[in-house]
């Protein structure tokens, strides 16, 4: 497939090599003039988005992805080799729906070749196109959203960016196994919305819980096939890039940590960073924050350990006896990273089982004779 027909090349200033030979500008292959990068040989592919028809606020005057690129390519390359291409900026479709379908086709093609797309810019509803790219896989998928609100508006006049999550969860035919909502602020979310997620057996982790112990977010991100991050999840002081301004939210350090978790996830195959409006970012602070988040995502990717063979010597297997049903739970711990997984066997059909990420606290709770909540939720999803 000729992906070049969907993209505009980058401006010359964004493709020039840096004077410092150790920066990312000298290692990423970027779309310039008529030379389209060889994405089939790349591990990661950056895609700039400037589609705002799904936003009630309209489009900003500047191209947000380019503003982030300026700072990203001046960062130092991390440890080890890197195979990163920048495909340029996506040409929006004739309609917003056309853009969703265009993203579906492009991301789906990249997934087929094991190239991880990194989506940068545009309104948060573009993750619907990101989601659609997974429809043709022969398995159910999981994803996580990081946002200050839960975008499940029901009224007909709601902008797509306020209702995209509902559209994803209600999509037919359903190919969704699990969903996790992270870093929302409870005073911004209606109680019935959170109740609906609970009824669907999906996991939520509000901002205060992330703040108390950010490690709680790691298993939720480790289970995701893709992650979408709205810049509005960041507090305004760390990322003045959205409206209306919010003094509460994730710090830039916490956001970078979550980006690392996402990149380090062996299962994750695409990452979207949406909502950046440079018109509010007078000093480029938000652009620097997002560029650093991308850096941590890339570093996380290149520190993946390929921890998927639970029968190998890389894992320690723990069997925990329980007084009721089930009579036993099986946990796996990676020797190198000390990450934990939990095996959940369907009570309705013993041939159906799934190994899901969990935490040491889940293991500890089981050792005390209690069923971890993650087992209960996964059991409900297995049906």
Kindly report the pTM of this predicted structure.
0.96
* Structural domain spans, the chain: 3-301, 315-382
The predicted-structure confidence for 310-345, as pLDDT tens digits, reads as follows 999 999 999 999 988 899 999 999 999 999 999 999
Provide the β-strand partners of residue 334.
315
Under a CB-based contact definition with an 8 Å cutoff, are residues 268 and 227 in contact? yes
Is-contact 335 317, C-beta < 8 A? no
Tens-digit pLDDT profile for residues 209-249: 999 999 999 999 999 999 999 999 999 999 999 999 999 99
| Whether residue 5 has pLDDT greater than 90 | yes
pLDDT, mean over the chain = 95
Tally the residues of the chain: 383
- pLDDT (tens digit, 9 = 90+) per residue, 13-36? 888 877 688 999 999 999 998 899
| Alpha carbons 142 and 262: distance in angstroms, whole number | 13
How would residue 61 be classed by pLDDT, with cut points 50, 70 and 90?
confident
The dotted CATH code for 3-301 is 3.40.800.10
| pLDDT at 150 exceeding the cut of 90 | yes
Instruction: State how far the Cα of 311 lies from the Cα of 70, in Å rounded to an integer.
Output: 45
């Amino acid at each position: 497939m000729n992906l070049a027909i969907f993209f505009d090349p980058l401006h010359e200033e964004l493709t020039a090599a840096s004077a410092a030979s150790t920066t990312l500008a000298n290692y990423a292959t970027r779309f310039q003039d008529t030379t389209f990068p060889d994405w089939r040989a790349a591990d990661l592919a950056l895609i700039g988005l400037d589609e705002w028809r799904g936003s009630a606020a309209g489009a900003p005057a500047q191209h947000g992805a380019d503003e982030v690129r300026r700072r990203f390519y001046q960062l130092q390359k991390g440890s080890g080799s890197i195979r990163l291409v920048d495909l340029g900026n996506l040409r929006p479709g004739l309609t917003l729906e056309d853009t969703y379908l265009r993203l579906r086709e492009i991301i789906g093609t990249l997934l087929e070749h094991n190239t991880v797309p990194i989506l940068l810019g545009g309104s948060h509803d573009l993750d619907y196109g990101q989601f659609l790219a997974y429809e043709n896989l022969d398995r159910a998928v999981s994803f996580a959203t990081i946002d200050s609100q839960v975008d499940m508006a029901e009224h007909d006049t709601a902008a797509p960016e306020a209702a995209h999550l509902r559209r994803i969860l209600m999509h037919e035919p359903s190919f969704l196994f699990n969903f996790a909502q992270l870093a929302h602020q409870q005073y911004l979310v209606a109680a019935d919305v959170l109740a609906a997620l609970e009824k669907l057996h999906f996991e939520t982790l509000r901002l205060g819980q992330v703040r108390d112990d950010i490690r709680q977010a790691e298993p939720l991100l480790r289970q995701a096939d893709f992650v979408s991050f709205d810049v509005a999840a960041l507090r305004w002081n760390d990322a003045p890039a959205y409206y209306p301004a919010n003094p509460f939210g994730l710090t830039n350090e916490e956001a970078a940590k979550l980006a690392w978790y996402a990149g380090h996830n062996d299962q994750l195959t695409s990452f979207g960073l949406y909502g950046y409006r440079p018109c509010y970012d007078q000093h480029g602070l938000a652009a620097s924050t997002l560029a650093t988040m991308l850096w941590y995502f890339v570093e996380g990717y290149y520190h993946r350990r390929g921890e998927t063979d639970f029968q190998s010597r890389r894992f320690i297997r723990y069997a925990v006896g329980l007084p009721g049903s089930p009579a036993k739970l099986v946990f796996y711990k990676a020797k190198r990273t000390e990450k934990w997984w939990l095996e959940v066997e369907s009570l309705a059909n013993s041939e159906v089982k799934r190994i899901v990420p969990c935490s040491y606290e889940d293991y500890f709770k089981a050792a005390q004779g209690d069923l971890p909540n993650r087992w209960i939720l996964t059991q409900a999803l297995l049906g």
